């Protein structure tokens, strides 16, 4: 990377923790750090208070910020307490990053939607950094700039979150994290320690839709991507996206997209072929 580059990436990767991990609060980062919790939970210090970092939380550290991270056993809906934590992390620097950082007041922990697009930016940066020969580091820099600008856009789209809204947002994160697996309304409500009736009310009030409909919408979006971009059998798509049976999935898919899963796969492939030169 030339010295005139607006930003550069020192390192980027994806980590999975299955054993306890602790980084002392006396340590500090030397560069800007973007860390996205994608699976499970961890903990960090926010204003001197040990705070849980949930799946979907983005941690932002500037150079010389104290860095405390703890990963221990957590209780999950199914099975015994276990350690399960995954994250993307990017260490970066440069004048563009410094300027971007000062544009807004940036909290240490920021909730982000785990959309395929947002996750895809982290994945692409990691893939670029893993190339054995990287003759075009400017590509990584461009992806990093897009990621930072997307963070700003998502921040501006998030309304001020009230205590009730925060509970609803945590339930939404739980649904997005567990959508591919069977779970009950009791599991969603239990995640934030409230009753099912209150959970249903808060979610509808915050997002204008029911928990059940949102679960199905997330699963259908997952299924659409797999139908379009993978050769996976349709019954397997249904199963891996959390649907109890193919008949139910088929009915919901047709109702949402106006065609059956088989028709949608044929349509998407025809569209892809038509776009080729």
Residue 20: closest CA among 34, 35, 40: 40
Confidence at residue 66, expressed as pLDDT on a 0 to 100 scale: 86
Q: How many whole angstroms separate alpha carbon 69 and alpha carbon 24? A: 7
Q: What is the pTM of this model?
A: 0.59
What is residue 150's three-state secondary structure?
A: helix
| Average pLDDT value for residue range 243-252 | 96
Q: Between β-strands 69-71 and 8-17, what pairing exists: parallel, antiparallel or unpaired?
A: unpaired
Give per-residue pLDDT as tens, 130-168. Answer: 876 666 788 999 999 999 999 998 888 665 556 677 788
**Is residue 1 pLDDT above 50, yes or no?**
no
260 burial class (0-12, 13-18, 19+ CB within 10 angstroms)?
middle
Given a cut of 70, whether residue 59 has pLDDT beyond it is yes
Report angle CA 170, 102, 98 to the nearest 5 degrees.
110
* Residue 2 confidence (pLDDT): 43
d(CA 212, CA 105): 36
Average pLDDT in the 213-235 region?
A: 92
- Please give the residue that has the higher pLDDT: either 83 or 276: 83
Structure tokens belonging to residue 173: 């994160």
């Amino acid at each position: 990377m030339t010295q005139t580059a607006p930003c550069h990436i020192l390192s980027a990767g994806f980590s999975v923790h299955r054993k306890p991990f602790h980084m002392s609060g006396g340590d500090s980062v030397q560069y800007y750090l973007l860390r996205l919790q994608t699976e499970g939970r961890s903990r960090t210090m926010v204003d001197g208070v040990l705070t849980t970092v949930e799946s979907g939380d983005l941690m932002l550290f500037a150079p010389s910020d104290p860095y405390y991270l703890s990963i221990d056993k957590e209780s999950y809906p199914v099975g015994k307490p276990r350690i399960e934590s995954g994250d993307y992390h990017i260490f970066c620097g440069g004048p563009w990053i410094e300027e971007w950082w000062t544009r807004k007041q940036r909290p240490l922990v920021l909730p982000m939607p785990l959309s395929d697009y947002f996750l895809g930016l982290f994945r692409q940066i990691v893939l670029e950094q893993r190339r054995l020969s990287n003759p075009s580091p400017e590509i990584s820099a461009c992806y990093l700039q897009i990621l930072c600008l997307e963070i700003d856009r998502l921040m501006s789209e998030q309304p001020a979150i009230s205590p009730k809204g925060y509970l609803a947002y945590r339930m939404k994160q739980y649904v997005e994290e567990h959508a591919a697996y069977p779970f009950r309304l009791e599991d969603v409500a239990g995640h934030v320690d409230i009753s099912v009736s209150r959970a249903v009310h808060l979610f509808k009030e915050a997002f204008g839709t029911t928990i059940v409909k949102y679960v199905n919408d997330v699963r259908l979006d997952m299924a659409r991507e797999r139908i379009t971009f993978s050769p996976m059998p349709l019954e397997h798509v249904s199963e891996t996206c959390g649907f109890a049976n193919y008949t139910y999935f088929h009915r919901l898919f047709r109702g949402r997209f106006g065609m059956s899963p088989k028709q949608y796969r044929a349509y998407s492939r025809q569209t892809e072929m038509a776009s080729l030169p």
